[in-house]
Amino acid sequence: MGFRLEGIFPAALLPLLLTMILFLGPLMQLSMDCPCDLADGLKVVLAPRSWARCLMDMRWLRNQVIAPLTEELVFRACMLPMLAPCTGLGPAVFTCPLFFGVAHFHHIFEQLRFRQSSVGSIFLSAAFQFSYTAVFGAYTAFLFIRTGHLIGPVLCHSFCNYMGFPAVCAALEHPQRRPLLAGYALGVGLFLLLLQPLTDPKLYGSLPLCVLLEQAGDSEAPLCS
């Protein structure tokens, strides 16, 4: 289920670093639009009082701690080991996120209940959310298999919850559009370039899910090497 000490430090740092590289453009956008400079921002981030306020905020706890931990535990740590022996690793990586995407359909009922928009807009928004949560679920499933740890997917999930979906339209209209779009492109390019090296299973020790598949007689698991 991804709870082990072997290789835990690279499993915590490298997937998060990889995800932050993918979000290079949005991170640049955030820094450009932030009224405070880097030094002031670091003071706020490192201040114990700021963390204390976050820990008292139930919405922050839900989005940054509870949801990433419980969702990754259920849809990666529990579901993948059940699906993979039946379907193989490749199909499991793409099947598991479908359940993860459907699990977010409760937002439809919330929006319909409070009449937040038209019915068509609500269902269009739900379809879009299903699409990107399914893609994200495939990514964290890939991370879980390649690292053999749960901590990496949880940290990446928390980071992505904080960042939200990249505001590409706002970037296209930004006063510093050219360097910002270059940051978006560079982030995607570096992410694709570093995806395999930074998730190399050799960095994380033995992979429990791959061992499980070997015991089940599946010797061909390209994601395990």
Residue positions annotated with a catalytic role: 71, 104
Helix segments in 114-167, DSSP class H: 119-147, 151-163
H or E stretch covering 203: none
Alpha-carbon span 11 to 201, nearest angstrom: 10
Instruction: Classify 207 as helix, strand or coil.
Output: coil
Q: At 204, give phi and psi (nearest 5°).
A: -120, 5
Return the amino acid letter for 77. A
First to last CA, the chain: 19
How many helical (H) and strand (E) elements, i.e. helices and strands, does the chain have? 14, 0
The tokens describing 179, both together, are: 């360097």
Alpha carbon separation from 129 to 42, 80, 136, 179 (Å, rounded): 32, 22, 10, 28
Burial (0-12, 13-18, 19+ Cβ within 10 Å), 40: exposed
